[in-house]
Amino acid sequence: MTQVGLIRHGSTLWNKTGRVQGLTDNPLDEDGRREAQLLGKWLSGQQWDRIYASDLVRARETAEIIAAELGISKIEIDPRLREMNAGQIEGTTEEERLSKWGHGWKELELGLEAPDLGMERGAACITEIADRHKGESILIVSHGVLLYHSLRKLVPGLSNRMDLGNTAFTVLAREGGVWSCSLYNGNKHLNEF
């Protein structure tokens, strides 16, 4: 059995101000670094063999902090784990979107990556990583929207809410080509925060 721990990156200033990040390469804020450290400490009592991350700095930095806590020396970067492209809404708040495009902004063509494309990209990447490291326990640090849509493909019916919190931890297992989920959107590590 192959185990995969999916992690959303730690918090950023844009998370706190409600701005859509998309591909904008924002760093973690102090809270985000502390969240990653708490998750790393919580995971240190478990066996994890390797860690992958998106190439965007907020995911890489989260992975670096966790890897340091776990004694994992190498972080493997995969750009397919990047957040979905948010097109013209990138950097905006809901209030700014309503002001600029009105209440029907979600129906407009604003250059966003289609959910199904993100779902296929993310799910294929996660599956490929799991197949490459059969029988291992692998951590993957990525982004909320991409992870949500990837999980829709890997474990249909798991959740219909895009509610993955910063440093949320989701555990999947793959056996015989079938995915199962034993923990979704876990945040127990933040109780010490």
Query: What count of residues does the chain have?
Result: 193
* Helix/strand/coil for 50: strand
**Among 35, 61, 64, 83, which one carries the catalytic annotation?**
83
How far are the Cα atoms of 64, 97, 164, 171 from residue 59, in angstroms, in the given order?
A: 9, 26, 14, 18
Q: Is 9 a catalytic residue?
A: yes
* Cβ atoms of residues 14 and 26 within 8 Å: yes
DSSP structural state of residue 45 = T
Q: Is 133 a catalytic residue?
A: no
Rounded distance, CA 108 to CA 104, Å?
A: 7
Active-site residues: which are they?
Answer: 9, 83
